[in-house]
Structure 1
Amino acid sequence: MHFYRTMNTIKALTFDLDDTLYDNSMIVEKAEEEMLKTLQSYEQLHTLTISEYLSEKHTVLVSEPEIYHDVNVWRSQTIKSLLNKTDIPVQKFADVIDESMTCFNFWRHKMQVPESTHMLLTKLATKYPLAVITNGNVDVHQIGLGDYFQFSLRGGEHGRSKPFPEIFELASDKLSISPHHILHVGDNLLTDVNGAINNGFLACFINIYKHDIFQIDDTRCLPHIEITQLLELDNLL
């Protein structure tokens, strides 16, 4: 555990989810592969490739730049855009989108949360209020983490995604604790660390790849704390 900044007293913690509380590698890719199979089951889309899907996703983003704040809306709009290029009746679009999104979300939640994460959150929750601030679409209750957190905020649904201020401000308001006493823990230097610092939070960077923080291109400012594994937060108890 490395300390780079002086810190106020920690009175609450907020957490990112993906690659912070569990290993998210290949989870989204697998979910997209399975969703693609669902889309390919329709004759009009049976030749659809993942590269074509991702290209369409980029096209949707270019036409609606703010859509990236809500990954669920972005994904459903991408599917709708693909359907618009087929002869599938418009009245069937909702069913196709719902089926595809249901498939994606099923596989999106097929990750293993380490027992060590459960143990750490159990300990932390006895001393601090805990909450989630995520840019993704994982439901903490579906992965067995819901009982540890007072609430979970998601980009798009609860304001613009990290590093924008709304979602951080809402977390502080819901906790009824000043941002200067809330430690946000995350693996992304831009969305988590820069977002936390710029919005008055304390920041803990989980450096999962153990790179030299001074050599990482995304470093805009130093966090208060740097760790390489989640269990180091046990030192806060």
Structure 2
Amino acid sequence: MHFYRSINSIKAITFDLDDTLYDNSTIVEKSEQEMIKTLHICPQLQDVTLADFHFEKNAVLLANPKIYHDVIIWRIETIKSLCIKAKIATDKIAQIVDDAMTTFNFWRHTMHVPQYTHTLLALLATKFPLAVITNGNVDINKIGLGDYFQFSLRGGANGRSKPFPEIFNLAADKLALPVGNILHVGDNLMTDVNGAINNGFLGCWLNIFDQDILQLPDARCLPHIEITQLPELENLI
């Protein structure tokens, strides 16, 4: 654990999910592959590839730049757009979207949460209120983490995604604490570290690849704390 800045008293901790509490490196790719297989059930979509999906996803973003704040709506609108371009009857699209999203969401929640994550969160929860601030679509209750957290906030559903202020401000309001007493932990320098510090939170960077922050082009500010392994947070007890 390395301290770059002096810190206020920590009275609550918020966590990112993907690649912070578990390894997410292959989960989304696998989920999308299975989603594409579901789309192939429809004859008009049987030749759609994952590359086609991502091309259409970028087109949807260009048409509506703010949609990226909500990854669920973005994915739904991308599937709808593929259906419309394939000239699928309007009354069939809702079922296709529902089937594809059901498949995606099933595989999206098949990650392995390490035992050390459970051990750490159970320990921290004895001293601090814990919460989640995520830009993704994982339901903490579906992966066995719901009991550790007071609430989970998601980009789109709860304001613009990290690093924008709304979702951080809402977390502070729900915790009923000054932002300067809340530590946010995450692996992403832009959304987690920069977002936390620019919005008054204390920032903890989980340096999962053991990189030199002073050499990284996406580093905009130093975190208060840097760790390379999640269990290092036990030192806060």
Q: Which category of TM-score, normalised to the shorter sequence, fits these structures?
A: over 0.9
TM-score calculated relative to the size of structure 2: 0.99
The answer for the alignment partner of 1:189 in structure 2 is 189
List, as ranges, runs of 4+ consecutive aligned residues in structure 1 with deviation greater than 2 Å: none
Distance in 1 of aligned mates of 2:87 and 2:122: 52
| Counterpart code for 1:89 | A
1:32 aligns with 2:15: no
Distance in 2 of aligned mates of 1:46 and 1:194: 42
Cα shift at 1:86: 1.4
Structure 2 segments unaligned to the other structure (5+ residues): none
1:162-206 superposed Cα distances (whole Å, 9 cap, x missing partner): 000000000000000100000000000000000000000000000
Distance in 2 of aligned mates of 1:113 and 1:13: 19
The answer for the alignment partner of 2:73 in structure 1 is 73
The answer for the alignment partner of 1:228 in structure 2 is 228
Structure 1 segments unaligned to the other structure (5+ residues): none
| RMSD across aligned positions (CA) | 0.4
Cα shift at 1:227: 0.2
Determine helix, strand or coil for the equivalent of 1:141. helix
1:61 aligns with 2:61: yes
Distance in 2 of aligned mates of 1:218 and 1:15: 20
Determine helix, strand or coil for the equivalent of 1:142. helix
Alignment length (residue pairs): 237
The answer for the alignment partner of 1:140 in structure 2 is 140
| Counterpart code for 1:196 | A
User: Percent sequence identity over matched residues?
Assistant: 66
1:88-128 superposed Cα distances (whole Å, 9 cap, x missing partner): 21011111001100100000000000001000000000000
TM-score calculated relative to the size of structure 1: 0.99
Cα shift at 1:87: 2.6
Distance in 2 of aligned mates of 1:206 and 1:183: 12
The answer for the alignment partner of 1:202 in structure 2 is 202
Distance in 1 of aligned mates of 2:207 and 2:70: 25
